[in-house]
Amino acid sequence: MKAVRVTVQPEHRSVEVPAGTTALDAVEAAGVAIEAPCGGKGQCGKCRVVLRGEATPPRATERRLLGEAEIAHGLRLACQAHLLGDAEVLVPAEARLGRGHIVVSGVEREVPLEPAVRKIYVSVPPPSLEDQRGDMERLLAATGLNGCMPDGIELARALPRMLRGSRFRVTAVAIDGLLAGVERGRVGAHPLGIAFDIGTTTVVGYLMDLQTGQELAVGSRLNPQTRYGADVVSRVEFAGSRPDGLSILNRAILGTLDEIIDETCHAAQARRRSIYEAVVVGNTAMHHLFLRLPPESLAVIPYVPALTSERYLPSQAVRLRIHPHGRVYTLPCIAGFVGADTVGVALASNLLASRGLRVAVDIGTNGEVLVAADGRLLACSTAAGPAFEGARISQGMRGTDGAIDAVSIGEEVRIHVIGDAPPLGICGSGLIDAVAELRRAGIVNEMGRMASADEAPADLPEAVRARLQGSGATARFLLARPDEHPEGRTVALTSRDVRELQLAKGAIFAGISILLGRVGATASEVEELLLAGAFGNYVRQESAVAIGMIPALEMNRIRSIGNAAGSGAKLALLSKAMRAEAREITRKVEYVELSNDSAFYERFTGAMFLGPMGGEAAPAGRPGGGGA
CB of 70 to a copy of itself, least distance (A): 43
CB of 247 to a copy of itself, least distance (A): 11
CB of 387 to a copy of itself, least distance (A): 25
Nearer to a copy of itself, 525 or 591 (CB): 591
The single residue among 297, 469, 522, 537 that binds a copy of itself, judged by CB under 8 A, is 297
Rounded to whole angstroms, the Cα distance separating 501 from 429 reads: 11
Rounded to whole angstroms, the Cα distance separating 127 from 487 reads: 77
Taking residue 505's Cβ as centre, other Cβ atoms within 10 Å add up to 29
The single residue among 151, 455, 484, 525 that binds a copy of itself, judged by CB under 8 A, is 151
Rounded to whole angstroms, the Cα distance separating 63 from 51 reads: 15
- The reply on whether position 161 binds a copy of itself by CB under 8 A is yes
- The reply on whether position 518 binds a copy of itself by CB under 8 A is no
- The reply on whether position 137 binds a copy of itself by CB under 8 A is yes
Cα distances from 52 to residues 61, 88, 91, 621, in angstroms, run: 19, 5, 12, 73
- The reply on whether position 38 binds a copy of itself by CB under 8 A is no
DSSP string, 99-147: -SEEEETTTTEEEE-B-SEEEEEEEPPPPBTTB---HHHHHHHHHT--E
- The reply on whether position 503 binds a copy of itself by CB under 8 A is no
The single residue among 68, 130, 483, 554 that binds a copy of itself, judged by CB under 8 A, is 130
The single residue among 109, 190, 272, 311 that binds a copy of itself, judged by CB under 8 A, is 311
Residues 588-617 that bind a copy of itself (CB under 8 A): 591, 593, 595-596
| Pairing assessment for the beta strands 528-532 and 357-363 based on DSSP bridges | parallel
- The reply on whether position 317 binds a copy of itself by CB under 8 A is yes
DSSP conformational letter for 59: P
Closest CA to 27 of 113, 100, 99: 99
- The reply on whether position 67 binds a copy of itself by CB under 8 A is no
- The reply on whether position 60 binds a copy of itself by CB under 8 A is no
- Using CB atoms within 10 Å of the CB of residue 554, give its burial: 0 to 12 exposed, 13 to 18 middle, 19+ buried: exposed
CB of 115 to a copy of itself, least distance (A): 20
CB 385 within 8 A of CB 393: no
- Using the rule CB under 8 A, give the single segment among 175-183, 206-214, 313-321, 555-563 that binds a copy of itself: 313-321
- The reply on whether position 292 binds a copy of itself by CB under 8 A is yes
Nearer to a copy of itself, 50 or 312 (CB): 312
Residues 90-129 that bind a copy of itself (CB under 8 A): 127-129
Nearer to a copy of itself, 131 or 412 (CB): 131
- Using the rule CB under 8 A, give the single segment among 39-47, 94-102, 145-153, 479-487 that binds a copy of itself: 145-153
Nearer to a copy of itself, 250 or 354 (CB): 250
Rounded to whole angstroms, the Cα distance separating 288 from 360 reads: 24
Report phi then psi at 240, rounded to 5. -90, -5
CB 480 within 8 A of CB 490: yes
Rounded to whole angstroms, the Cα distance separating 141 from 3 reads: 13
- The reply on whether position 584 binds a copy of itself by CB under 8 A is no
- The reply on whether position 240 binds a copy of itself by CB under 8 A is no
The single residue among 51, 136, 174, 529 that binds a copy of itself, judged by CB under 8 A, is 136
Residue 622: which residues within 8 A CB-CB, separation 6 or more? none
Rounded to whole angstroms, the Cα distance separating 209 from 276 reads: 11
CB 396 within 8 A of CB 386: no
CA atoms within 13 A on the CB side of 430: 32
- Using the rule CB under 8 A, give the single segment among 79-87, 151-159, 478-486, 611-619 that binds a copy of itself: 151-159
CB of 322 to a copy of itself, least distance (A): 16
The single residue among 39, 134, 410, 482 that binds a copy of itself, judged by CB under 8 A, is 134
Strand order across the 147-148 sheet: 117-123, 169-175, 178-184, 147-148
- The reply on whether position 385 binds a copy of itself by CB under 8 A is no
- Using CB atoms within 10 Å of the CB of residue 619, give its burial: 0 to 12 exposed, 13 to 18 middle, 19+ buried: middle
Closest CA to 33 of 126, 98, 103: 98
Residue 330: which residues within 8 A CB-CB, separation 6 or more? 279, 280, 281, 287, 290, 291, 310, 311, 313, 340
DSSP conformational letter for 592: -
Binding-site size, a copy of itself (CB under 8 A): 50
- The reply on whether position 291 binds a copy of itself by CB under 8 A is yes
- The reply on whether position 3 binds a copy of itself by CB under 8 A is no
DSSP string, 264-333: HHHHHT--GGGEEEEEEEE-HHHHHHHHT---GGGSSTT---S--S-EEEEGGGGT--S-TT-EEEEPPP
The single residue among 8, 34, 280, 333 that binds a copy of itself, judged by CB under 8 A, is 333
Q: Is 494 helix (H, G, I), strand (E, B) or coil?
A: strand
- The reply on whether position 524 binds a copy of itself by CB under 8 A is no
For 144-162, b where at least 16 C-beta lie within 10 A, e where not — what string? bbeebbeebeebeeebeeb
Nearer to a copy of itself, 474 or 595 (CB): 595
Rounded to whole angstroms, the Cα distance separating 503 from 423 reads: 25
Closest CA to 367 of 380, 348, 377: 380
- The reply on whether position 306 binds a copy of itself by CB under 8 A is yes
- The reply on whether position 478 binds a copy of itself by CB under 8 A is no
- The reply on whether position 131 binds a copy of itself by CB under 8 A is yes
Nearer to a copy of itself, 29 or 246 (CB): 246
- Using the rule CB under 8 A, give the single segment among 86-94, 203-211, 251-259, 293-301 that binds a copy of itself: 293-301
Nearer to a copy of itself, 149 or 431 (CB): 149
Nearer to a copy of itself, 102 or 140 (CB): 140
x-or-dash string of contact with a copy of itself, 162-201, rule CB under 8 A? --x-------------------------------------
Name the site residues for a copy of itself (rule: CB under 8 A). Answer: 127-138, 147, 150-151, 153, 156-157, 159-161, 164, 291-294, 296-297, 301-309, 311-314, 317-318, 333, 335-336, 591, 593, 595-596
